[in-house]
Amino acid sequence: MPIVNFNSSRMSGLLEFIESLNSWGPRSRELGLGTFEQSLGVPGLAPEDNCFLLEEDGRVRGFSLIFPELPIGRSVLEMGIARDLEGTPQELDLVRRSVDRARHIGAGVAHICVTGNPSRAKMLEAEGFSLVRVYWDMVWSQNELPDQEIPPGFSVRSYQQGDATALTEAQNSAFEGSWGFCPNTVDQIEYRSQMPNTSNQGILILNDGHKTAGYCWTCLSPLNENTRGVIGMIGVVPEYRGRGISRTILLASMEYLRSLDVADIGLQVDGTNTPATRLYTSVGFEKVGELHWFELLLS
Ligand SMILES: CC(C)(COP(=O)(O)OP(=O)(O)OC[C@H]1O[C@@H](n2cnc3c(N)ncnc32)[C@H](O)[C@@H]1OP(=O)(O)O)[C@@H](O)C(=O)NCCC(=O)NCCS
């Protein structure tokens, strides 16, 4: 099966394929497809060069995206394949093409996250990838949120136009040194804040007076016919750590998500990130699965 580069005339075929991988209802379909389409426009991705499609008689049967994260020397591969092609030489071709591309753009390592696809994990290991991180898939589905008061001097507000620079600085400083975190540019933050899966009200900022102490970026994702609220990113800038304020911002964000009538709230977290896993467990998130990150050294 030929592997071709994405271009805009192939968008509808790609979206049709994405839909075929999911069992969405009308509302979740719009969210899922809109978010996927917009994610191809994130500054720095260049899908004409970094998105490949596996085609059979002109029909999309698989895709891969190669996200260049060269400031940290890596490229993240994301793939989707038709169920009947899982574990086949066609899937392997797509993996190899994506790895070649990652190498070509100068990445030192390729990372790929595998969830519930044992044949892909085996295939990656046979290609020289190794498991480097286990992330936890966590879900909160209780009826009531724990009570929480905002500490004196602090306030929670929503993101507004003009906040992109401050949010970029807060995010980059909170996540500096975190495994797999590539510093964001202001353009990327601005673009992501306008994606269909988020909103200005869903990005909560914790201020200490006028200073940004932390933030939580919430999103929505399709969950079969329903919608799941997602804690996308939460960060407390280093000088405010260890005082319990992450709980304030997390609970405020969960309250916001609940106001949207989501089915539940989910997140993914590095299983070795003790402050984060303790925080999530303490408000009632439960581990429901694992995501496995595989790495291939390219140089
Ligand atoms: C995760 C993070 C938001 C926590 O913020 P925080 O306000 O400093 O955390 P808290 O003071 O509320 O502590 C949360 C829990 O972690 C524990 N903790 C805090 N620092 C810790 C450390 N260095 N080692 C082990 N446990 C720690 C606290 O004791 C608390 O657990 P407890 O309630 O069982 O006592 C912050 O560390 C951060 O921004 N990290 C970088 C970004 C990140 O990893 N985000 C989460 C993934 S999306």
What residue ranges do the domains of the chain occupy?
A: 3-128, 139-290
- Residues sharing a CB contact under 8 Å with residue 78, sequence separation 6 or more, in sequence order: 64, 65, 67, 112, 113
Q: What is the mean pLDDT of the chain?
A: 96
Side by side, the strands of the sheet bearing 74-81 are 3-5, 51-56, 59-69, 74-81, 109-114, 286-297, 130-140, 264-270, 226-236, 211-223, 203-208, 154-158
Residue 299 reports pLDDT greater than 90:
no
Q: Is 14 exposed, middle or buried, given 0-12, 13-18 or 19+ CB atoms closer than 10 A?
A: buried
- Architecture of domain 3-128 in this structure: 3-Layer(aba) Sandwich (3.40)
Strands (E), 115-255: 130-140, 154-158, 203-208, 211-223, 226-236
Q: Which residues line ligand 1 (CB under 6 A)?
A: 174-175, 178, 233-236, 241-247, 269, 273-276, 278-279, 282
| 3 state SS of 233 | strand
Phi-psi region of 87 (alpha: psi -120 to 50; beta: other; left: phi over 0): left
Return the number of other C-beta atoms located less than 10 Å from residue 23's C-beta: 11
Residue-level pLDDT at 118: 86
Determine the distance separating the centroid of ligand 1 and the alpha carbon of 146, expressed in angstroms. 18
Residue 47 reports pLDDT greater than 90:
yes
Residue-level pLDDT at 69: 96
Write out pLDDT tens, residues 136-163. Answer: 999 999 999 998 889 999 999 999 999 9
Q: Give bridge partners of residue 269 from the DSSP assignment.
A: 136
* Location of structure tokens 């591969």: 77
Residue-level pLDDT at 148: 86
Averaged pLDDT, 30-59:
96
Residue 208 reports pLDDT greater than 90:
yes
Nearest residue CA, atom 40 of ligand 1?
A: 235
How far is 103 from 10, CA to CA, in rounded Å? 25
pTM for the model: 0.95
How far is 116 from 80, CA to CA, in rounded Å? 12
Averaged pLDDT, 25-42:
95
Write out pLDDT tens, residues 239-262. Answer: 999 999 999 999 999 999 999 999
Q: Let me know if the fold of 3-128 is the same as that of 139-290.
A: yes
Query: Hey, what are 240's tokens?
Result: 């405010």
Determine the distance separating the centroid of ligand 1 and the alpha carbon of 87, expressed in angstroms. 39
Q: What percent of the chain has pLDDT over 70?
A: 100
Averaged pLDDT, 117-121:
88
pLDDT-derived band at 117, boundaries 50, 70, 90: confident
How far is 130 from 294, CA to CA, in rounded Å? 5
Report the atom number in ligand 1 closest to the C-alpha of 237. Answer: 39
Write out pLDDT tens, residues 4-14. Answer: 999 999 999 99
Averaged pLDDT, 71-88:
96
Strands (E), 161-260: 203-208, 211-223, 226-236
Residue-level pLDDT at 88: 95
Residue-level pLDDT at 116: 79
pLDDT-derived band at 27, boundaries 50, 70, 90: confident
Query: Hey, what are 286's tokens?
Result: 């439960």
Q: Give bridge partners of residue 286 from the DSSP assignment.
A: 139
CATH 3.40.630.30 is right for the domain spanning 139-290: yes
Determine the distance separating the centroid of ligand 1 and the alpha carbon of 241, expressed in angstroms. 7
Averaged pLDDT, 215-226:
96
